[in-house]
């Protein structure tokens, strides 16, 4: 499985609210930064998702960029009646996601 495949699988599992399938894709030292919160470990991230599970959503990839251990997915994310475009930058280490930076306008989700 390529890094791009892992990134797409991560987004797919997130959109399908399959939290248990996200953990194996992440390093223990996984970090996330985004408009709503930041996490400094895989366990912290998974715990936040368990406390506040994501609503099921649909995603449609607009573009994907790869450069070595980095993958950037740009996609439309639709939940309920709201759609926003997201850029998600994945950093990989040993074919697992070590860091994600989320970039989007969250006003439609508040």
Query: Using one digit for the tens of pLDDT, what is the confidence trace for 45-104?
Result: 999 999 999 889 999 999 999 999 999 999 999 988 889 999 999 999 999 999 999 999
Neighbours of 7 (CB within 10 A): 24
Report field, pTM of the whole predicted structure over 0.85: yes
pLDDT of 106: 75
pLDDT of 81: 80
From the number of C-beta atoms within 10 Å of its C-beta (0-12, 13-18, 19+), residue 81 rates as: exposed
> Is 107's pLDDT higher than 80?
no
Instruction: Name all domains of the chain by residue range, CATH numbers in brackets.
Output: 3-104 (3.10.450.50)
Neighbours of 15 (CB within 10 A): 18
Query: Using one digit for the tens of pLDDT, what is the confidence trace for 2-14?
Result: 999 999 999 999 9
pLDDT of 105: 86
């Amino acid at each position: 499985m390529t890094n791009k495949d892992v990134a797409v699988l991560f987004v797919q599992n997130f959109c399908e609210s399959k939290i248990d399938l996200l953990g194996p894709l992440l390093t223990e030292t996984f970090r996330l930064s985004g408009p709503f919160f930041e996490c400094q470990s895989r366990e912290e991230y998974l715990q936040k998702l368990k406390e506040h599970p994501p609503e099921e959503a649909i995603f449609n990839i607009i573009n994907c960029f790869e450069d070595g251990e980095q993958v950037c997915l740009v996609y439309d994310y639709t939940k309920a009646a709201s759609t926003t475009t997201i850029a998600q930058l994945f950093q990989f280490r040993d074919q697992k996601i070590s860091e994600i930076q989320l970039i989007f306008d969250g006003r439609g989700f508040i």
